Structure 1
């Protein structure tokens, strides 16, 4: 069993979906877990209270897509937490947008939520990791960042940039005992996909197109994230781990 009892973890977008699954798994592995949430304080509180006093789980409000003075808020948050061994950049949005009808505001909103916020959070935490001579940075990207995605070009562009950023940092920070990797999920049955999956015929079509014949759960993604944060993965650096049931193999 993976034991992270000496580690402090920060998970962005941790109140639902993949983020919430990561919160649960890392808490069960003994880590001190800090997570951010966008607006639903009830969901964040309910998640943290699941562990009672036996686990150390803390939550903070931070809207990456529409937060004034975002960099200052991130600096304040990191200063409050102080020790961060593992950073999981998970917060993000996935919105519909036709390429010729998308406004600059819509484009910028996605870029800030998915890319700029990740840059600012990572930039702020790197000095702590350098000082401690240890760090694990795990970015939640997407197969869309590798293949593209029609009607979600801004999302795909942000995730593609995240992948390039991951590889660049891996080469730059490895000498400080800091590894940087990315998980690239395919379809995941979470609240983010609730709208499109309300069409049961479409959801079944998606399922049948995946070689393993199932749509991933949030827990299917959280497991590989935990692995990359552990000593079992200490020699893995700059990798993009596709967790999609083999769907990228099928054109």
Structure 2
């Protein structure tokens, strides 16, 4: 039912986890796929090889903490694919930082990678979307951005900022038919979370807080992202889709 054959999507942090599942889902839906990676070249190459049979796909090495590399990436994608219809701001990091021990460098690193990169990718992509009077921007936030997270205040702040950024852009860009939404995952089985979830005591503690009593798979997040990029969601903007098994229930 979802057919994106005429669309081009740019997915940041697309080589692993949620990003890789987004690459898969959008390739299956027929979209032309551009995605970024930083250190995971092997995984990126595997994805390109796997889905090149379905659609046009290309990976781009980008340090999303570097504004110039982000600008160059968007320009390269525009040159390679002609346009960008859908932007998925997914790249991010999650590192522990107790407030009385966190350095300014640690704080700024998380904000720069998780939030500023989303601003910059949007900044460079939106002008062409405005010209076409069409665009879809989907920001991957987190339950941490809604309820906070002890020992990860920098991460929670970055994701809370992304939610507010989403709502602000949704109102600002609506007149150009550019829809801006967010998907907020809870716990997901990814390389980033596996070390924490591998601890039996920690896992049992977290699973008790999830009504569905299970941890999401990356595909569970990619599905709602694909939905928001499709015409099925053409009257939805400024929303946060919570995908957390019921662990955080908020409007």
TM-score (norm 1): 0.95
Distance 2:43 2:156 in 1: 28
Query: What is the root-mean-square deviation in Å for CA atoms of aligned residues?
Result: 1.5
Contact 2:71 2:124 (8 Å CA) reproduced: no
Extract unaligned runs of 5+ from structure 1.
Answer: none
Distance 2:249 2:233 in 1: 25
Q: What is the deviation of 1:151?
A: 0.5
Aligned positions, number? 249
Asked if 1:50 is matched to 2:50, the reply is yes
Distance 1:236 1:149 in 2: 28
Distance 2:163 2:5 in 1: 29
1:188 maps to what in 2? 188
Distance 1:227 1:75 in 2: 24
Distance 2:101 2:35 in 1: 35
Please show how residues 204-243 of structure 1 align to structure 2 within 5 Å.
Answer: 204-243=204-243
1:33 maps to what in 2? 33
2:59 maps to what in 1? 59
Extract unaligned runs of 5+ from structure 2.
Answer: none
| CA displacement, residues 110-135 of structure 1 (integer Å, 9 cap, x when unaligned) | 01100111101001000110111100
Distance 1:223 1:75 in 2: 25
Q: SS of the counterpart of 2:25?
A: helix
1:80 maps to what in 2? 79
1:119 maps to what in 2? 119
2:203 maps to what in 1? 203
Distance 1:72 1:55 in 2: 25
TM-score (norm 2): 0.95
